[in-house]
Structure 1
Amino acid sequence: MSRAMSTMNISLPETLKTFVDQQVSGRGFGTSSEYVRELIRKDQDRQNLRRLLLDGAASAPTQAVDESYFADLRDRARLSRAK
């Protein structure tokens, strides 16, 4: 599967460039672009998780998940297999 790539040039202070270079060599990235792509993917994942957590926090309360919940779930699974 081929992905079209765009090019983006960024300017970094020397200290950040040195840090990126160290991360690339020390963590097995082939290029600084691979490292930056990984950082962006992780940021996307964090933002998605945050959105899901906020959506969950804003949703209506649900049934308590306790031992009786799981007992009922097991009973329903047994009944569906018996059919």
Structure 2
Amino acid sequence: MASMNVSLPDPMRDYVQRRIDSGHYASVSDYVRDLIRRDQGETQDVERWLHDLDASIERGLADAEAGRTHDLDDACDAIIDRIRTRASAQPQ
């Protein structure tokens, strides 16, 4: 296993030591490994989200090119009409 040297300001070093003393971590190395694992997971989540977003945009563009879209004003008007119809049908 490789080793690295890290310099920390005193308040950060003290914080890490308190985490170790409280039993949350066995050592400084354990603490740093946990931080790296969390960062790797977060990075993978962001990459997955961006990939899904790109795919969604591509599907939307393909739908637009194929004419599978609706005018936003027309769609909003239809929703408002349905809300008004339901509201007027409610007993008062």
**What TM-score, normalized to structure 1?**
0.63
Query: In proportion to residue count, which structure has more helix?
Result: 2
Which of 4, 9, 24 is matched with 1:8 structurally? Answer: 4
Which whole-Å CA distance do the structure 1 matches of 2:26 and 2:17 have between them?
A: 10
Count of residue pairs the alignment pairs up:
58
List alignment gaps of at least 5 residues for structure 2.
61-92
List alignment gaps of at least 5 residues for structure 1.
63-83
After the TM superposition, which parts of structure 1 deviate over 6 Å for at least 4 consecutive aligned residues? none
Structure with more contact order per residue of length (Cα contacts < 8 Å, sep ≥ 6)? 1
RMSD, aligned CA: 1.6
Name the residue aligned to 1:31: 27
Name the residue aligned to 2:41: 45
